Amino acid sequence: RVLITEENLMTTIIQTFMDHLMRQRDSHGRFQFERYTAIQALKFRRVQSLIGDLKYVLVSKPTEWTDKLREKFLEGFEVFLQLLKRMQGMDPVTRQVGQHIEMEPEWEAAFTLQMKLTHIISMMQEWCASDERALIEAYRKCLIVLLQCQIGPSDGEQPITLTMCGHSLDSVQYRVSQHQVSIHLPVSRLFSGLHVLLSKTEVAYRFPELLPLSELSPPLLIEHPLHCMVLCAQVHAGMWRRNGFSLVNQIYYYHNVKCRVEMYDKDLIMLQAGASMMDPNHFLMIVLCRFELFHIFNNPHYGKRFSSEHTNKDVLQQNNILIEEMLHLIMMVVGERYTAGVGQVSPEDEIKREIVHQLCIRPMAHSELVKALPEDENRETGMEKVIESVAYFKKPGLTGRGLYELKRECAKEFNVFFYHYSRADQSKAEEAQRKLRKQNGEDTALPPPVLPQFCPLFASLVNLLQSDVYLYILRTVLQWVVEPNGHAWTESMLQRVLHLIGMALLEEKQQLESANEDSDFTFNFTSKVSRPGEAPENSPSILAMLETLQNAPHLEVYKDMVKWILKLFGLIKKLRERNNSAPVMEAEGHSVDECLRDKDKADRKRKAEIARLRREKIMAQMSEMQRHFIDENRELFQQTLEELEASSSTAPDNSPIVPDAALIALGPKQTKVFDKKQIVTCILCQEEQEIKLNSKAMVLASFVQRSTVLSKNRSRTIQDPENYDPLFMQPDLACGTHIGSCGHIMHAHCWQSYFDAVQAKEQRRQQRLRVHTSYDVENGEFLCPLCECLSNTVIPLLPLSWSLQNSDNSRSFSGIPVLSQWLKCTLQQSKVLRKINEKQPISDNTNASLEGIEALDRFRPDVKPKNPYSDSIKEMLTTLATATYKVGLKVHPNDQDPRVPILCWGSCAYTIQTTERFLADEEKPLFGHLPCRQDDCLKALTRFAASHWTVSFLSVVQQHFARLLAVLVPDDNKTQIPPSILDVDMFHLLVSLVLSFPAVHCHDFRGVSLAVGVLHLFHLVTMAHIVQILLTSSTEENNMDQESTDGDEESAAFTLYDKLRQHSGSALNFMASGWHLWQYIKTGIMPYLRCSALFFHYLNGVPVPVELQEIGPHHYELLCHYLSLPINLMSLFQTNSDTIEPLMQRWCGAAEVLNFVKGERKAISYPRESNKLIDLPDDYSCLINRASCFTCPKSGGDKSRAPTLCLVCGGMLCSQSYCCQTELEGEDVGACTAHTYTCGCGVGIFLRVRESQVLFLAGKTKGCFYPPPYLDDYGETDQGLRRGNPLHLCKERYRKLQKLWQQHSITEEIGHAQEANQTLVGIDWQHL
């Protein structure tokens, strides 16, 4: 203020700004900007910095005015008016009629200037409002400048006389569709703003003599704002199509929330101000004239002229839209009272109304509401003050945002023709509100809301609603509607007319209710609408036409609205008859409402009863027809019933013939099951087929990927994949192969045809476009034809083949060989096979040593087992095996490689382990809670892994079996030393042993079933795992309190541990408590037992007990029983002590085990802890602080521009920067891509800290952005940190992110995101 007073700063800034723009003027002195190029925009931005200075000057409004401050402010205001004067009428447009405009005219610079000045204009008005004298002087000066602008170019305006309904008016002949018109009227709009302030500050009532109100010419004031409104209507009617997009963009910004406060809204206020000072009939006649509709309403035969044969449809449509827009304008002039100074409302009421109407469209997030509300100079909307009174906040779920929902009592304020609605918003709001009213059991009428009273300066506007021309317009439109075969009207036009009638009736009702006894009623709409039309045609009254419309069948949608109007009309009539007893009448009015409501209820009840009786009659007829049909075809039904009974007795749905308590998944006592007939439908050809061994293959679309989700050692990677031996999985599960599926089934040949078509299409696409896609066809990737889920291979669906090899019940259990006998035989058989495979002659010594041994009595290595599968299934077995091998080792496909079966068994074991870990982390039961697609995938995958040996070289599988068994039972083969039991994951070992054993057993014709061998292998691996647990758990601290005395299990555990101490040279820590040891064993072995239960369930198809499908306390005992294990696992060691003692001695005597017990190396302890994403701080500012301290590791301490946090390991990386690029497989990649290959086998999940954005990466070409788990107080993310609200961690969303990672769904998520948004495909993800 000192600078304004002493240095005249306002004038200096505005004058300097004008001087810079002075060169860009047309012949009339208006601004005319050059084409808005990049250079022009740069120059313009530099000039616009002056506006920022002016905003700084005006931001602090004075509380006390001095004469000098007032003088200098008004001087600056006068210069500002000169600036606005040069903007008045900028960029005028003329309608193109003959041909389309050749070059789009420049419009951006003018709107940029308007947007920059919007807050300055508003702040000038606020300064004026704070001092009465300043306001009066500013009003005077603005009027002078406005009159100067009006004297400008005439544009060929000719005087004419308009006559309608006995009213006559002299006006000018101006047509928006022919003459120049401009959307820029800042002087007119500033004047309308000051005019409202006169009312708001009550200056107009206290000092009328100081105001130049008598000098105002209302027709002149409304002229230019009315031109803008008509221009918008004509553009909507399609009359300005040839003027191109520049005009469409101008109209858009004219209504846009950024500009409308000082453009659209002020034009409406100027129309309201002019109409309040005019005869309402004259105002409406001018409106009709400017909309170019005067001749239509002055022609009584207009509606009859149109028939379906002889009609210019374009002209008719244009006229209809113009009539709709004209009716809407009348609504706005009379109904938009929520501006302080126009209506008796506060600024808070105005904001409330905006919020209510936005929430009537749909529930909205905080950010959406903020964008829909105008901001002041401090970027505030005022929403927080009032939002609680009109809406309640609904917190977000795992997806989406927190939403504000409108309170039910606020819905009555809804106005379907709210002036800030776009046409799309109006349609959505109308549909939503009708639906809501229907749900609440109300009628679907959307009546106008009750409006606040006008301020005295605008009070005369209500007379528009009872003027002669207004009634004539309503009557004319209703006549068009009532006339048969009328084409001159639309439903939208009728809706607006009904709304206007409702507004007038509500106004009359309001005045009647608020009137005193002595007051004279001037508003009498009801009596006027009851009168018939005048000569020359005696048309029926408006009321009579409404009653006719109530029964019109083609207007069913507006029936409720007409009913509401007639009801309100009756109520007003009664109020007018007994205006002295208003309260009594109100009660009577309610009773009328109730009577009508009761009548409606009775009608609905009667109709419902008729419908019920009709339904009962139809059902009785159908029942009789069914009975008659059954009687006629009794023999056929009897035969069908017998077949059904037979099939149900022989082939139940995979159900056992024993109770749940006796269900056993493996071994000689395995429960017998019958594989149910499985018929599936191909998603491509829609044909059904049964799953059989010898039929065409059916396949599941699936995706194979490497994984480190279970990894306990991310630093260990496969260095030389060509020579890497994957036979033994380390206990740290450093890198596994996971197979998932979307669950959609196809014929193998249908899939092959589909994939060939995709390949051909992609080859053509690459030749044409050279762009990436969301899938890499060269790598065998494709999208599932149904769900578009990323896939890279297929899993064949196989029947339950192992049921054919179940235990032979003719042998008694006592005749089954015990572990020692079986092991001895198996080792001998394995030795013979090795000799044969190595093509070594079996020496006499060997023969002599083997004589009389039962193992070789009926062992026939020369017999080749018959492959039961069809060629199609065998091909698919090889396809999946090759894909697993290629992805698992990152090598070229080679189905002859001896490592192919190992990768198949490993992928089966790893997928089961990840599923078990996920279910355990989610605290879900082991069975019954997997999604169908996951359940189908595990079943198909397990059966595939079990069948793959049939398409492999038998000798290769037999060698693998021998090497696997050597981990547990060392043989005399010195060439390959097996790893110690501390360096093998026992579940992987179990799966590989069980699935490779049939390759050895197929030569054994002794009659011992395969199930016996599987059970012995399972017991042997289980005992090895118990030893593994005891060896590794002994080094842990003992924090558990003993809960009970030692029993048999505890004593046996103590004895076993003592033996292990002896075998390892007493290097193990001494444990005094057997109870603690037994607890270690039970806890450590549970994940193994759970995985084994899943494996054998899917392998053998034995149903699980109901108790295992629920969360319960006795799962350990149930699992032991299901897996044919003794509940006291220690009894395994006691039963097989002769065999297991020497084995334990050799296990503990291994060099690696001795190194471990001496503390010279580390080993994994059991149970392995589940991996989770890193812990994030609750407050996002902590992450920002951490990122701000992070420096690029390769650029000498410089700050990183894009610090990115790995959510898997917690490492901070310098992303999207050349400094940290590294070479990977011959390509330069960014830090994040390089990190994924060491941390996640090519898959990564990161948080870009400065953008508050989660980044998913998969390989070098796939990636997408994902909403972060940090939300503000309104339940919204802030990607890019644009809004700046405080952010806090949402644990549910972070848990969802973790589930995506644990379920290996990152790649799938990326695929879906890239398919939905093609711009993601073009991003160079490898550089991030």
Residues 727-755: tens digit of each pLDDT: 899 999 989 999 999 989 999 999 999 99
What is each CA distance from 566 to 338, 433, 558, 563, 596, in whole angstroms? 28, 22, 13, 5, 12
Q: Which two tokens stand for residue 1178?
A: 């609750």
Give the separation between CA 989 and CA 499, rounded to whole angstroms: 79
User: 590 exposed, middle or buried (CB, 10 Å; 0-12, 13-18, 19+)?
Assistant: exposed
Nearest-CA neighbor of 1095 among 990, 1016, 1015, 1019? 990
What is each CA distance from 71 to 469, 640, 885, in whole angstroms? 47, 105, 88
**Per-residue model confidence as pLDDT tens digits over 792-839:** 899 999 988 643 443 343 343 445 788 888 888 888 888 888 888 776
State percent of the chain over pLDDT 70. 86
Judged by DSSP in three states, 425 sits in helix
Q: Which amino acid appears at position 208 of this protein? A: P
pLDDT value of position 652: 38
pLDDT value of position 1040: 56
Average pLDDT over every residue of 340-360: 92
Lowest mean pLDDT among 778-787, 1029-1038, 1172-1181, 1225-1234: 1029-1038
Residues 1271, 1254 contacting (CB under 8 angstroms): no
pLDDT value of position 912: 95
Average pLDDT over every residue of 277-297: 90
Give the separation between CA 969 and CA 977, rounded to whole angstroms: 12
Q: Which amino acid appears at position 982 of this protein? A: L
1248 forms bridges with which residues in the sheet?
A: 1204, 1253
pLDDT value of position 1321: 77
Q: Which two tokens stand for residue 10?
A: 């306002």
Residues 705, 1307 contacting (CB under 8 angstroms): yes
Give the separation between CA 768 and CA 305, rounded to whole angstroms: 57
Q: Is the pLDDT of residue 323 over 90?
A: yes
pLDDT confidence band for 655 (50 / 70 / 90): very low
Tell how strand 1243-1248 and strand 1203-1206 pair up: antiparallel
H-only helix segments in 88-163:
108-129, 132-150
Residues listed for the chain? 1328
Q: Is the pLDDT of residue 1177 over 50?
A: yes
Q: SS3 string of 684-737?
A: CCCCEEECCCCCCCEEEEEEEEEECCCCCCCCCCCCCCCCCCCCCCCCCCCCEE
Give the separation between CA 893 and CA 871, rounded to whole angstroms: 20
Give the separation between CA 1309 and CA 752, rounded to whole angstroms: 25
**Per-residue model confidence as pLDDT tens digits over 392-403:** 898 887 777 889
H-only helix segments in 151-184:
none
**Per-residue model confidence as pLDDT tens digits over 1197-1206:** 677 778 899 9
Average pLDDT over every residue of 354-379: 88
What is each CA distance from 439 to 429, 435, 468, in whole angstroms? 15, 6, 40
Give the separation between CA 226 and CA 327, rounded to whole angstroms: 14
pLDDT confidence band for 158 (50 / 70 / 90): low
Residues 1286, 1270 contacting (CB under 8 angstroms): no
Judged by DSSP in three states, 1203 sits in strand
Q: Which two tokens stand for residue 1209?
A: 């390991």
Tell how strand 1203-1206 and strand 1222-1224 pair up: unpaired
Nearest-CA neighbor of 1244 among 1174, 1319, 1177? 1174
pLDDT confidence band for 1 (50 / 70 / 90): low
Give the separation between CA 88 and CA 25, rounded to whole angstroms: 12
Mean pLDDT of the chain, nearest integer? 83
Nearest-CA neighbor of 250 among 354, 372, 112? 112
pLDDT value of position 814: 43
First to last CA, the chain: 51
Q: Which two tokens stand for residue 538?
A: 């005696």
Contacts of 871 (CB under 8 A, 6+ apart): none
Q: Would you say the C-alpha torsion 291, 294, 297, 301 has a positive or negative sign?
A: negative
pTM: 0.79
Give the helix/strand (H/E) hosting 1223.
strand 1222-1224
Q: SS3 string of 571-614?
A: HHHHHHHCHHHHHHHHHHHHHHHHHHHHHHHHHHHHHHHHHHHH
| Other Cβ atoms within 10 Å of 1313 Cβ, number | 18
**Per-residue model confidence as pLDDT tens digits over 289-321:** 999 888 888 876 666 655 444 557 788 888 899
Task: Say whether the peptide bond before residue 1167 is cis (omega within 30 degrees of 0).
Answer: yes
- Tell me, rounded to whole angstroms, the distance of Cα 755 from its chain centroid: 30
| Other Cβ atoms within 10 Å of 1072 Cβ, number | 9
DSSP string for 52-69: HHHHHHHSS--SS--HHH
Nearest-CA neighbor of 287 among 300, 298, 275, 270? 275
**Per-residue model confidence as pLDDT tens digits over 608-619:** 778 788 888 888
The count of C-alpha atoms lying within 13 angstroms of the C-alpha of 1127, restricted to the half-sphere facing its C-beta, is: 7
**Any idea which residue has 């083949």 for tokens?**
801
Give the CA-trace dihedral at 491, 494, 499, 503, to 10 degrees: 170
Lowest mean pLDDT among 1003-1012, 1030-1039, 1255-1264: 1030-1039
Give the separation between CA 428 and CA 1118, rounded to whole angstroms: 57
Give the separation between CA 1271 and CA 1286, rounded to whole angstroms: 8
Give the helix/strand (H/E) hosting 370.
helix 366-372
Instruction: State the angle between helix axes of 1137-1149 and 1048-1063 in degrees (0 to 180), rounded to the nearest 10.
Output: 50
pLDDT value of position 228: 94
Phi–psi pair at 1232, nearest 5 degrees: -65, -45
Q: Is the pLDDT of residue 356 over 90?
A: yes
pLDDT value of position 1037: 45
Nearest-CA neighbor of 347 among 126, 636, 185, 518? 126
The count of C-alpha atoms lying within 13 angstroms of the C-alpha of 1241, restricted to the half-sphere facing its C-beta, is: 26
Give the helix/strand (H/E) hosting 824.
helix 819-837
Contacts of 824 (CB under 8 A, 6+ apart): 853, 855
Give the separation between CA 262 and CA 190, rounded to whole angstroms: 8
Contacts of 276 (CB under 8 A, 6+ apart): 457, 458, 459, 460, 461
Q: Which two tokens stand for residue 584?
A: 């009594």
The count of C-alpha atoms lying within 13 angstroms of the C-alpha of 1116, restricted to the half-sphere facing its C-beta, is: 12
Give the separation between CA 876 and CA 1146, rounded to whole angstroms: 42
State percent of the chain over pLDDT 90. 27
H-only helix segments in 212-346:
218-236, 244-255, 264-276, 280-290, 294-297, 302-305, 313-335
Q: Who wins on pLDDT, 1223 or 389?
A: 389
**Any idea which residue has 């060691």 for tokens?**
1133
